[in-house]
Structure 1
């Protein structure tokens, strides 16, 4: 078990454990939520009403779940099921309308493979939204009571999956917060855990650096394939995103091209071998550094990593952000001190001290690593306290 050293905080170099929840499938959770999972947009308000009634439940508002086909359908299904299987979730009430493409019962069956409690509520089968709210609240209340009887126990850091994300950047991102997160990625990998690098869009121009670190030729080939596919999507809409900069916030932050942002964003990957490249919302099968193919959209990539099993997400920002997740705590890290001071209600840590000259990249990285352990063991992030429950799925096909 870990304990604080006087005057030093947690002894990060010796740390091997955190306090979490053991799940039936053997995975380790850092939170103990009961998730009300709406499979269709027209069930989201009903789900929200249940969370208003039952403390200890979480949900999200979205516009997905119907008139989806092919790979787009499969990706959304994988995301729904992955969120339910995330080890931060104790149990799930899958809430459907009844006639949608993404059938609640099928999603519940996939989630149930994890061994956790899963129940299905259908608005049409129960007769109305009021009846569905009553039934869903009754089931959820029992799950919350059962969940509250669980106790945290010491678990290995090797069981953590930590997502990394770069929000609106500035000229400091690539020399402060992102390389500091890279230190954390290396520490997580060295402890036998998994660090997820995402944002394929914002790795364009830095792909060769990651390809050089690929574990084998298959991973190396996949690096260039996902970059090419992302650029092809942009070209199909008449845009060359490699030489442009689509975000006004990035421009105001002092960046001129996407490649500049990419070189800074890639620093979150640290220096370890790239072990695997997974699809959006896919659960990694390997430990160490893993790349998940996601867009640069903050909320969509956040959702994908959490659906892929991330229990915690590190989110750097040079512009400031309120972003959070209904399921995983999001630790937000400022790249510069003025933004941290301006948005102190939203940002958890300040890496601007590197720019100020009062800390090194390594010391800030160790400080962030300490915070990961504290949050994994129960400390609330500012996004959690403010109930910032953001959600969005990367759609790769039209709605029919």
Structure 2
């Protein structure tokens, strides 16, 4: 029997676990107007960012794909695109990319309507109408095969790789086995594990893709650290990771890969793109928490699962982030920020399998409407568009 959750069925068949209105500026110049519109409408969320102009080539392409992907995410019932009018990433292109979803969609361009005050008035009117219509929508029972989770970790310590990540891997395996999807990424923190991950590929092409993207990331990191005059800048893990008991990036990688469980990888795709397959996926992207989560949400993830040994309160706008820790001391200190205490395994109170099941049940509860602690506290720090190095 396939498990279910209560979600919002969208016109294009996808399912959201939240029902927000997204206000997306096409360029940083219109970010404040987007913020003001969101402030005027309960449940509206502004995605302020510092890009959209003075970018070229792949850098601009990543911005375009990511913002379109955010707008397409099923957690948003409607989108108001806010443009300036002379930017490189034009608001019409952003709206055109979102339109195939069939969701509510409007565009306001500051230079076209006259000034920022008028743009706020018009955008607010659009968002209010959308919110009123969205308020009539009701959750319905749907299969977990409609669910995609993003896997991310930050503030890691020794308990992350020993407990929290493997427990999340158990939950991920259970979701994937029922037709759902799970995204592993943070390639900067998978160095040294590529041969292990490649053995779990569904076919030779996927295996070669895994080896290629992690190898390319290692070469990029070599170039970036080669000429640094500060030896601390060459370290591939943070000082907090060292303080938490991790000795090297390889040790962190061996623990980090455990988030993906034991399922087979079915596809490798780039950050900013959307996968074409369901199942366990590898996203070609960096290790920065914000860039990781943003890429996963742009790919369609409705929930982010985030193990943290040392603890972090951060969240993502409009997408619930479930915090998990394997460190019982961290849970005691940060109970208002941590959703699942996997430290019970360290204390001998529960088995790894039991905590994996606990995480899986928490995913279903959050998918059905339970607010994560990051949501309750209004944390939204993880929205961050990847820039080319």
TM-score (norm 2): 0.96
The residue that corresponds to 1:388 in the other structure is 379
Spell out the pairing of 1:270-309 with structure 2 (5 A cutoff): 270-309=261-300
Aligned CA RMSD, in angstroms, stands at 1.4
Q: Is the 8 A contact 1:192 1:287 kept in 2?
A: yes
Paired positions, count: 383
Measured after TM superposition, the shift of residue 168 of structure 1 is 1.4
The residue that corresponds to 2:64 in the other structure is 77
Which secondary structure state, in structure 1, belongs to the residue aligned with residue 82 of structure 2?
A: strand
Spell out the pairing of 1:339-354 with structure 2 (5 A cutoff): 339-354=330-345
- Stretches of structure 1 that go unaligned for 5 or more consecutive residues are 1-13
The residue that corresponds to 1:27 in the other structure is 14
Measured after TM superposition, the shift of residue 239 of structure 1 is 4.2
Which of these residues, 176, 187, 194, is aligned with residue 207 of structure 1? 194
The residue that corresponds to 1:51 in the other structure is 38
Which of these residues, 315, 323, 335, is aligned with residue 306 of structure 2? 315
Return the alpha-carbon distance in structure 1 between the equivalents of residues 374 and 117 of structure 2.
30
Matched, 1:63 2:50: yes
Matched, 1:155 2:146: no
Matched, 1:94 2:81: yes
Return the alpha-carbon distance in structure 2 between the equivalents of residues 372 and 251 of structure 1.
30
The residue that corresponds to 1:119 in the other structure is 106
Which of these residues, 313, 325, 328, is aligned with residue 319 of structure 2? 328
Q: Is the 8 A contact 1:281 1:306 kept in 2?
A: no
The residue that corresponds to 1:10 in the other structure is none
- Stretches of structure 2 that go unaligned for 5 or more consecutive residues are none
Return the alpha-carbon distance in structure 1 between the equivalents of residues 280 and 61 of structure 2.
25
Which secondary structure state, in structure 2, belongs to the residue aligned with residue 166 of structure 1?
A: coil
Return the alpha-carbon distance in structure 2 between the equivalents of residues 137 and 97 of structure 1.
16
Spell out the pairing of 1:226-241 with structure 2 (5 A cutoff): 226-239=213-226
Return the alpha-carbon distance in structure 2 between the equivalents of residues 57 and 180 of structure 1.
34
Return the alpha-carbon distance in structure 1 between the equivalents of residues 379 and 18 of structure 2.
15
